[in-house]
């Protein structure tokens, strides 16, 4: 469908420089990034994670900025029909479309092209993440700590999805806000449940915050419930945004992407500088997910050790208990932030090392070079394990990673026999439980090879 749409409340005007970045022949890198992210938003709610099929199906889609006396509009050509009702774009999708443009322009002009932030330093990267979130207006001063980050896979069973909704409902009844990776499955379920809980409590200010990044958004298109969307420039800044914003974290069943998030979090919490900083973490799922969490818990013990296992609590088949545990944890967070005079809206106190923040590009060389052995600090091992899972995510659903695997074969992972055995067992479990892909999960071909 073709359409011309106008913004609501923000981005009504652009500079000539910004327009030139988004306009022209369409050959520029920013234009193509903008086009692909916009297409992902227009596919909101799609149950598909085959990036190349989405791009092929919509290869004629075009988007352009139109400047006029009153400001700007967006001209869309061959946009997916599902984004419209009776010829008018769905309002939530329109908001997301302008959020994409807002974040991509801000990152390009104010973060990357300027000298304002030193992205070679840890403090500079954290400052950039803060400013991206502030520019998106998701940092709320004077608000009590009640933002619960929910992680979990998009390729989960119906029972696990329904359970995530029930947990979200219990959190919503307690007027907690939800932040997820904005996609389907365990990213949608808690938000959907929370809307009902909020409605019952007549809580009309419920927040459903979605954090994503350009290489993953097509495979995990924003679900329709997200009412605040932020596009971070890469996976590492997205992960940092999660933990800086979170007042508590709930983890549902998932695959390699969820494992990546868990290892990132545990690596940070294992840093001695962070051990006294309260951050409630709960792993949860229905009774049918018991084996999943047993294997995940064992993997964490076999690699990062018992101290890492003590940083979270596992609660199965009891959504009310999860919500009560989170509520109690939020009180601890509230008191700790007040005592240290730290902001509720951004956890400045967490120390995040530069190795956690540097963007990792998955290639055959970088994956083979990962140091997956015990002869290093445990938080550094977490960094390398996180990168291993990130590379598998790339090979599964990111266009560049899929292309590399098709051209050169599977990524190879090498390391200590004990660690590689634990990794191989966990990955085999993910494959057997069909947690790797939404698209044709029964015929998944591994994009990796584990070599002891």
pLDDT score of 24 more than 70: no
Tokens of 256: 């390699």
Q: Please report the pLDDT score of residue 28 as a whole number.
A: 62
Range in 28-42, 48-62, 275-289, 322-336 the model is least confident about: 48-62
Alpha carbon distance 434, 441 (integer Å):
5
Three-point CA angle 300, 303, 309, nearest 5°: 35
- pLDDT tens sequence across 169-198: 999 999 999 999 999 999 999 999 999 999
Tokens of 389: 């899972």
Range in 106-115, 160-169, 260-269, 412-421 the model is least confident about: 106-115
Among the listed residues 374, 380, 280, 268, the one whose alpha carbon sits nearest the alpha carbon of residue 322:
280
Q: Which residues touch 101 (CB under 8 Å, ≥6 apart)?
A: 11, 22, 34, 38, 74
**Position 10 confidence tier, pLDDT thresholds 50, 70, 90:** low
- pLDDT tens sequence across 307-359: 999 999 999 999 999 999 999 999 999 999 999 888 999 999 999 999 999 99
- pLDDT tens sequence across 114-141: 889 999 999 999 999 999 999 999 998 8
Q: How many helices (H) and strands (E) would you count in the chain?
A: 17, 14
Start-to-end Cα distance in the chain: 52
Q: What are phi and psi of 267, to 5 degrees?
A: -60, -40
Kindly state the average pLDDT of the residues 3-7.
86
* The dihedral sign for the CA sequence 439, 445, 451, 452: positive
Under a CB-based contact definition with an 8 Å cutoff, are residues 438 and 48 in contact? yes
Among the listed residues 46, 256, 275, 284, the one whose alpha carbon sits nearest the alpha carbon of residue 170:
284
Fold of 140-452: Rossmann fold (3.40.50)
Domain segments of the chain as ranges:
3-91, 140-452
pLDDT score of 26 more than 50: no
| 103 vs 13, residue with greater confidence | 103
Q: Please report the pLDDT score of residue 25 as a whole number.
A: 41
Q: Please report the pLDDT score of residue 384 as a whole number.
A: 97
Q: Please report the pLDDT score of residue 69 as a whole number.
A: 65
CATH number belonging to domain 3-91: 3.30.1850.10
Alpha carbon distance 433, 2 (integer Å):
41
Where does 48-119 show beta strands of DSSP type E? 62-68, 71-77, 84-85, 88-89
Q: Please report the pLDDT score of residue 139 as a whole number.
A: 96
Q: Please report the pLDDT score of residue 66 as a whole number.
A: 83
């Amino acid at each position: 469908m073709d359409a011309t749409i106008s913004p609501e409340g923000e981005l009504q005007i652009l500079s000539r420089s910004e327009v030139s970045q988004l306009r022209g022949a369409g050959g520029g890198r920013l234009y193509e990034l903008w086009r692909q992210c916009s297409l992902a938003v227009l596919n909101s709610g799609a149950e598909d994670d085959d990036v190349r099929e989405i791009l092929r199906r919509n290869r004629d889609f075009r988007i352009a900025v139109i400047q006029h006396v009153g400001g700007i509009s967006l001209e869309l050509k061959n946009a997916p029909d599902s984004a419209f009702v009776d010829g008018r774009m769905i309002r939530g999708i329109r908001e997301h479309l302008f959020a994409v443009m807002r974040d991509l322009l801000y990152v390009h002009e104010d973060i990357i092209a300027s000298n304002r932030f030193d992205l070679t330093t840890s403090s500079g990267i954290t400052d950039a993440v803060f400013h991206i979130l502030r520019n998106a207006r998701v940092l709320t001063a004077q608000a009590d700590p009640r933002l619960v980050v929910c992680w979990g896979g998009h390729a989960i069973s119906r029972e696990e999805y329904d359970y995530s909704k029930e947990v979200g409902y219990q959190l919503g009844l307690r007027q907690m806000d939800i932040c997820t990776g904005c996609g389907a499955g365990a990213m949608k379920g808690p938000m959907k449940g929370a809307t009902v809980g909020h409605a019952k409590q007549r809580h009309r200010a419920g927040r459903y915050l979605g954090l994503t990044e350009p290489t993953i958004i097509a495979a995990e298109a924003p679900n329709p419930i997200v009412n605040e969307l932020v596009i971070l420039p890469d996976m590492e800044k997205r992960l940092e945004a999660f933990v800086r914003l979170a007042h508590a974290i709930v983890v549902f069943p998932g695959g390699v992407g969820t494992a990546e998030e868990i290892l990132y979090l545990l690596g940070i919490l294992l840093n001695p500088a962070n051990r006294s900083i309260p951050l409630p973490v709960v792993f949860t799922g229905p009774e049918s997910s018991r084996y999943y969490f047993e294997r995940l818990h064992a993997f964490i013990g076999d690699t990062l050790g018992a101290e890492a296992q003590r940083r979270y609590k596992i609660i199965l088949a009891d959504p009310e208990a999860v919500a009560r545990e989170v509520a109690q944890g939020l009180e601890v967070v509230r008191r700790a932030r007040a005592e240290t005079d730290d902001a509720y809206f951004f956890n400045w106190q967490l120390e995040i090392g530069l190795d956690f923040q540097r963007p990792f590009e998955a290639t055959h060389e970088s994956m083979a070079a990962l140091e997956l052995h015990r002869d290093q600090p445990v938080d550094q091992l977490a960094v390398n394990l996180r990168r291993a899972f990130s590379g598998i995510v790339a090979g599964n659903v990111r266009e560049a990673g899929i292309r590399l695997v098709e051209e050169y074969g599977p990524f190879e992972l090498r390391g200590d026999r004990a660690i590689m055995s634990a990794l191989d067992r966990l990955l085999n479990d993910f494959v057997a439980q069909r947690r790797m892909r939404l698209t044709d999960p029964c015929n998944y071909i591994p994009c990796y090879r584990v070599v002891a």
